[in-house]
Amino acid sequence: MSTPAPASDFELRYPVGKFQAPKSISPDDRARWIDEIERLPGQLAASVSGLNEPQLDTPYRPGGWSIRQVVHHLPDSHMNSYVRVRLALTEACPTIKPYAEDRWAELADAARGPVDLSLSLLAALHARWVILFRSLGDSEFARMMHHPEHGDLRLDRVLALYAWHGRHHLAHITNLKQRSGW
């Protein structure tokens, strides 16, 4: 029996591929992505259940974040997006503020904090986000926000991005566990 070839840096970095903005988005696409966002907190909790402290502190790739940092990054990132979505729904194409996610991941709460805190935070946040997303119609999903680095973004594209974002980081954890035999 042959051993599988080691994953490339690209595969380790982008285990579900890079985000590709869809050319068109249907109501069925939106419903599927909202369902993914709804399921992510449970999937994330299951993916780290039973891991010990050294495992939580293992980077998912050389030079990458630890599993702990990935778990804390998800609510950090999704909280920022949740606020941005609310701004886009209540203001005319607001300019949103980027943040230094790499530096946030080095702060004590993300680098050393218990993952249960972020698992609970993500569950509550996603419950609210799903209610909000499911309340939106075509005109609301067409609303825009302006990102200083990425330009104008429609809310339905943001929804697609954050469904991908959850899959992306969940795969970092599950792939590391598989490669490590955990």
Query: Is 153 strand, coil or helix?
Result: strand
Q: For residue 2, is pLDDT > 80?
A: no
Residue ranges covered by each domain of the chain:
27-180
pLDDT one-digit tens code per residue, 135-181? 999 999 999 999 999 999 999 999 999 999 999 999 999 999 999 99
Answer whether 0.85 is exceeded by the pTM. Answer: yes
pLDDT (0 to 100) of residue 3: 47
Q: What does the pLDDT average to over 84-90?
A: 98
The dotted CATH code for 27-180 is 1.20.120.450
Task: Assess contact for 34 and 164: CB atoms under 8 A.
Answer: no
Residue 61: exposed, middle, or buried by beta-carbon count in 10 A (0-12, 13-18, 19+)? Answer: middle
